[in-house]
Amino acid sequence: MKEYICECPGCQQTGVIALTTTYLGTVIPTDTKRYCVDHCEVEETRANEYGFLAKRTHVTPIEGMPCTFHVGSDRYPGTVLSVSKSGKTILVQRRSFKAAAGHDYFGSQKWEIGELEGAAVWYTLRRNGRWSQKGQPMKYSNLGLGYARVYQDPHF
Ligand SMILES: [Zn+2]
């Protein structure tokens, strides 16, 4: 697997997320750069502020990378514990979370992510380019890589 270095100046971390930016209505060409987890978030926010469409077009899993389990409209945070040599099988585990200061269940939800908890689970990369729990059909793709989010739908 090809290794990239984060394109943020001075950063020596691995460029694990490919961020593709497009500016609609001008001649600025579509651009793809590789960033570490932290800088991807920063660049994504900046791109949006300047009116670019920013899309994470590829994520290479690495040990310690944040991840998110999508369950219906809910989101649960987790971490990648290990990655197979091929990069196509990963072991992931959920993290605990609790309401943070300023949390509003029906408005702006604010969560604090805590320790690893529960059973570690294997996920495999499928031919649709998404991650599914090992042994489960491809249609049950529910893992997001490169970010950890919490959201609880107040309508259920
Ligand atoms: Zn970086």
C-alpha–C-alpha distance, residues 16 and 104, integer Å? 33
Residue 135 and residue 149 in contact, taking contact as beta carbons nearer than 8 Å: no
**pLDDT digits over 14-49, tens only?**
999 999 999 877 678 899 999 999 999 999 999 999
Tell how far the Cα of 59 is from the centroid of ligand 1, in angstroms: 14
Question: What residue spans define the domains of the chain?
Answer: 17-59, 66-145
Tell how far the Cα of 65 is from the centroid of ligand 1, in angstroms: 13
Tell how far the Cα of 14 is from the centroid of ligand 1, in angstroms: 7
C-alpha–C-alpha distance, residues 56 and 33, integer Å? 10
C-alpha–C-alpha distance, residues 48 and 57, integer Å? 16
Tell how far the Cα of 147 is from the centroid of ligand 1, in angstroms: 14
**pLDDT digits over 87-138, tens only?**
999 999 999 999 999 999 888 999 999 999 999 999 999 999 999 999 999 9
Return the number of other C-beta atoms located less than 10 Å from residue 82's C-beta: 14
Is residue 1 predicted with pLDDT exceeding 80?
Answer: no
